[in-house]
Amino acid sequence: MKTSFCAVAALAAIASAHSWLGCTDHDNVEILKWMEGNATLTPPVTIDPLMPWFANFCKGWPRAKSNPGDWIAESSNYVWNIAANSFNGETHACHPNQRGPTYEGNAPMATAAPGGSVRLMFGGNGHARGGNVGGDPGTVTVYWKGEPEAEIVDISEFTEENKLQSDGFSAESFAYPANVLTPQEGLQDKGNWQTLNLPKAMIPGRHMFVWVWSYQNAPQWSTCFDIMVQ
């Protein structure tokens, strides 16, 4: 019995440690206040910005993203597991559905001006304080070729030269209660963001980016997206 319990626990651990971009241009000003306010209610109420009824706060989407998204389906069909795929010799940077600038009609790519910024949104999924990923939630890094219409294809292109910005997975996040590290202890970590600053010298046009969540010193999960710079 002990063996089967461990197998189930290991499977749950593998299945649960993942995250992806739900939105590439998220206005979190109002919803962050709701999240903070609702967390102080008795009992606390968790506001999850990934829920479909909050889709109006999103102004830009990743490639091949539905609006509103179904995060339950996305958590198995949409995420790209770099660690598992590269172990099998498959080293694409992006999920098969994200290997070109394909967008659904009501979920277009973000737009921004040179020198502007967009706020990427992703789920903490229980890992915002390092739970289940080795105690350190790791980093989120955005890679970019530096010019319009240029595609990062392979994980070998996750280089210093192509690195646009790197931040802690939870550098911009909201989680409660204080001092609690894991979902088993009651952690609620529904909002993680990364504000991506675009260089002033960006050439107008469509720019492709790969967002990568790394932990335990390896790239683990990616989402691919574009920004129309104008």
Ligand X SMILES: *[C@@H]1O[C@H](CO)[C@@H](O)[C@H](O)[C@H]1NC(C)=O
Residues that bind ligand X (CB under 6 A): 34, 37-38, 47
What is the number of the residue whose Cβ is closest to ligand X?
Answer: 37
**Residue with smaller CB distance to ligand X, 34 or 71:** 34
Q: How far is the CB of 186 from ligand X (least distance, A)?
A: 19
- Closer by beta carbon to ligand X, 45 or else 218: 45
Residues 6+ apart with CB under 8 A from 136: 130, 215, 216
CB nearer ligand X, residue 123 or residue 138:
123
Looking at the Cβ atoms of 38 and 77, the one nearer to ligand X is 38
User: Least separation, in Å, of the C-beta of 22 and ligand X?
Assistant: 17
- Asked whether the beta carbons of 23 and 58 are under 8 A apart, the reply is yes
* Shortest reach from residue 204's CB to ligand X, in Å: 38
The number of beta carbons lying within 10 Å of the beta carbon of residue 156 is 10
The residue written with tokens 């574009």 in the block is 226
Q: In sequence order, what are the residues at sequence separation of 6 or more whose Cβ sits closer than 8 angstroms to the Cβ of residue 81?
A: 18, 220, 221
Nearer of residues 56 and 91 to ligand X, judged by Cβ: 56
Query: What single letter denotes the amino acid at residue 9?
Result: A
Closest distance to ligand X from the beta carbon of 128 (Å): 20
Beta bridge partner(s), residue 80 = 222
State the minimum distance, in angstroms, from the CB of residue 47 to ligand X: 5
Shortest distance in whole angstroms from residue 73 CB to ligand X:
23
Q: Which is nearer to ligand X, 45 or 84 (CB)?
A: 45
Question: What minimum distance in Å lies between the beta carbon of 34 and ligand X?
Answer: 4
Comparison of 31 and 112: residue with beta carbon closer to ligand X? 31
CA distance 101 to 104: 10
